[in-house]
Structure 1
Amino acid sequence: MAAESLFVAATGGAMAAVAVLRLSWARPRRSAALNAAGWLLLALSVTAGWAYAGAWGVSILSLWAMGAAFVALAIAAWTSPPARRKASTRRAGMLPEAGEPMRLGRRIATFVIVVLAGMIAAIALGLATRWLALLVGASEANANVLALFVVPLGWTLLVFLILMSESRKRQFAILAAAFATAIPSLVSGSLS
């Protein structure tokens, strides 16, 4: 019974943590003390949820915390005043304004860099992870699973980093760093 009470308190703590963070972020200047209190309360709640039921407990706590965040953001959206100026009809540079060049070559190059080269770089990260896992003694199956886990996460991270880079030189440097991680596995011949 005490364990269930602790879990209920942890659930309430997770929702209270979201409320404290929302209160802090709603101020004109964020309060470091309120931020720290909110994150500490959330960390304590997650720790209590883990102690009660492991990953399941953390999952349930996360659902309650996300529900509280949804309610807080819905209230903020509903009560916020309308914007003072009209929203722009231009959507993040998707289409050029009348008379501007299409820059189709640049757009296609960005697509190729992000999608194709990014995916190949993510596969290189997966190969490096597999090689490293085998090197430290993981079984073949576990190494394969780790590689399959890293590829989509790596691709997501690489896509974010590439799209946030303002120069092609930096984009290529990010890709080169990802490709370089696979060199040891290719040199050692671990793929054969």
Structure 2
Amino acid sequence: MSMDALLAIGASAGVLSIAVLRLSWSRAKRSVLLNIIGWVLLGGSLVAGWAAAGAWGASVASLWAMGAALAVLAWAAWRDPSPRSAGSNRRVGMVPEPGEPWQVSRRLATFAVVTFAAFATAVALGIVTRWAALLTGASEADANVLAFFSVPLIWAFLAFFVLMTHSRKRQLAIVVLPILAAIPALASGSML
């Protein structure tokens, strides 16, 4: 089978998978069979795209599926019969109610823990990542790329866990304890 035909099959399977999933999800009770068929078609679309042209083919097949999903969701939003009503007035502690204390120091402390402390921990763990890569035989350039790649990911995870924890002691433990893992890397001079 030619590359173009396989890529067309992958794109068509992606579009069809979105149609099947939309049909399944629009029912009062979702159909397990239609869900399975839809997800298998979506996986088949990815496999056909990859077989046709590697990562580029998988990207093209995925773009067709995403375009179909965008069209289906846009159509559903356009036809939505729900009345235009005011949004909920419920707040989740972002701004205190009138007469309540602002708790500025607590908010600034949380900001400092999430930004500065969590970032310092992420950098320390990035150094550990670089050190571990060098120990396993990676080149200097590959180890640097791994370190630069890992820092924002680690920072995002740390920020999430810190913001989901209400106890200040636990927040500090989340950002301080991982720094202990960086001590061997720093002691060996991995930053040089």
Flag whether TM exceeds 0.5 (same fold). Answer: yes
Residue 97 of structure 2 corresponds to 97
TM-score (norm 2): 0.83
Give the C-alpha shift of residue 90 in structure 1.
Answer: 5.5
- The runs of 5 or more residues in structure 1 that have no matched partner are none
SS at match of 1:57: helix
Instruction: Find the aligned partners of 1:181 and 1:15 in 2 and give their Cα distance.
Output: 47
Letter in structure 2 aligned against 1:117 = A
Residue 157 of structure 2 corresponds to 157
Identical residues among aligned pairs (%): 54
Q: 1:20 to 1:145 in 2, by over 3 A?
A: same
CA RMSD across the alignment: 2.6
Residue 68 of structure 2 corresponds to 68
Instruction: Find the aligned partners of 2:71 and 2:53 in 1 and give their Cα distance.
Output: 26
TM-score (norm 1): 0.83
Letter in structure 2 aligned against 1:108 = L
SS at match of 2:146: helix
Letter in structure 2 aligned against 1:150 = S
Instruction: Find the aligned partners of 1:36 and 1:170 in 2 and give their Cα distance.
Output: 42
Aligned residues: 192
Residue 138 of structure 1 corresponds to 138
Q: 1:12 to 1:161 in 2, by over 3 A?
A: farther
Instruction: Find the aligned partners of 2:105 and 2:30 in 1 and give their Cα distance.
Output: 43
Query: Given that residues 3 and 53 in structure 2 are in contact (C-alpha distance below 8 angstroms), is that contact kept between their aligned partners in structure 1?
Result: no
Range moving further from structure 2, 91-100 or 51-60:
91-100
Query: Given that residues 128 and 181 in structure 2 are in contact (C-alpha distance below 8 angstroms), is that contact kept between their aligned partners in structure 1?
Result: yes
1:123 aligns with 2:126: no
Larger Rg: 2
Instruction: Find the aligned partners of 1:167 and 1:39 in 2 and give their Cα distance.
Output: 41
Letter in structure 1 aligned against 2:189 = G
